[in-house]
A and B are shown apart, each in its own frame.
Chain A
Amino acid sequence: DQQVKQNSPSLSVQEGRISILNCDYTNSMFDYFLWYKKYPAEGPTFLISISSIKDKNEDGRFTVFLNKSAKHLSLHIVPSQPGDSAVYFCAASAIGATNKLIFGTGTLLAVQP
């Protein structure tokens, strides 16, 4: 039962263009969402997060959008750079329920120079 889904295993974009990574969730108790980035041979690193009381959070080139009614969030990277090429994981947690993160299966982003 995959509660957090990343339906696109991979995405390829040109340098300078926008990258949009999508994530869907099924558990309506989730109220905090995070994105992690992972390079080969390294552990995932925290990128950006959003609380369910917001619908947008920005940090430099990275913006996360949350649509609670659709149970959907997305990560926008503008402009995309070759160094952004990595696997991106979406994760969620539910306050009051458990103290663990539920991760999606990841999307491999390739930014072409």
Chain B
Amino acid sequence: KAGVTQTPRYLIKTRGQQVTLSCSPISGHRSVSWYQQTPGQGLQFLFEYFSETQRNKGNFPGRFSGRQFSNSRSEMNVSTLELGDSALYLCASREGQGATFSGANVLTFGAGSRLTVL
């Protein structure tokens, strides 16, 4: 089974630009979550999608948005980039949704998209 695939792996943008990151979940997984990893902050939850609907959203400004398509693939978008948005953006998938993260609901992460904002 192929893992979670994220593209692009690396990208450089300048302040004020926008960026779109893509995530293809494991086949059969219907839930996709996005996390931001920065030094000293660990992984911060951005949002989770299940069946094309956003199920939960973290404490991030409205510049951060996402969507999920009917094939479970997901994209996240960051508009009006700021220097502080430089981070590793991780996508994770699991079979179901809800607050249990065991068994088939273990989150499986992709390798991430490293965004640098200059």
Q: Distance in Å from the Cβ of B36 to the closest Cβ of chain A?
A: 11
B62 lies within 8 A of chain A by Cβ: no
Partner of B56, one of A43, A98, A103: A98
Cβ–Cβ contact A95 & B35, under 8 A: no
Cβ–Cβ contact A46 & B106, under 8 A: yes
Within 8 A of B (CB), among A19-54: 32, 34, 36, 41-46, 49, 51
* Interface range on chain B (Cβ under 8 Å from partner): 20 to 34
Cβ–Cβ contact B45 & A101, under 8 A: yes
User: Do A49 and B109 contact each other (CB < 8 Å), given the known contacts A43-B90, A100-B33, A105-B41?
Assistant: no
Cβ–Cβ contact A43 & B48, under 8 A: no
A89-B43, A105-B41 are known contacts; what are 6 more A-B pairs with Cβ within 8 Å?
Answer: A43-B108, A46-B108, A98-B99, A100-B33, A100-B48, A103-B42
Cβ–Cβ contact B90 & A105, under 8 A: no
Interface residues, chain A, with chain B CB atoms under 8 Å away: 4, 6, 32, 34, 36, 41-46, 49, 51, 89, 91, 93-106
B15 lies within 8 A of chain A by Cβ: no
User: Do A106 and B42 contact each other (CB < 8 Å), given the known contacts A46-B108, A100-B56?
Assistant: yes
User: Do A43 and B109 contact each other (CB < 8 Å), given the known contacts A99-B56, A104-B42?
Assistant: yes
Per DSSP, chain A at the interface is: loop
Scoring B residues 29 to 49 as 1 if CB is less than 8 Å from chain A, else 0, what string do you get?
000010100001111110010
Nearest 5 Cβ contacts at the A-B interface: A43-B109, A105-B42, A103-B43, A100-B45, A95-B99
B87 lies within 8 A of chain A by Cβ: no
Q: Distance in Å from the Cβ of A38 to the closest Cβ of chain B?
A: 8
Q: Can you name 12 A-B residue pairings with CB atoms under 8 Å?
A: A6-B42, A32-B100, A32-B102, A44-B43, A95-B99, A99-B55, A99-B99, A100-B58, A101-B101, A103-B44, A105-B42, A106-B42
B101: A residues at CB distance < 8 A: 32, 34, 49, 93, 101
B19 lies within 8 A of chain A by Cβ: no
In the complex, residue of chain A having the shortest beta-carbon distance to the beta carbon of B55: A99
User: Do A49 and B102 contact each other (CB < 8 Å), given the known contacts A43-B109, A44-B43, A104-B42?
Assistant: yes
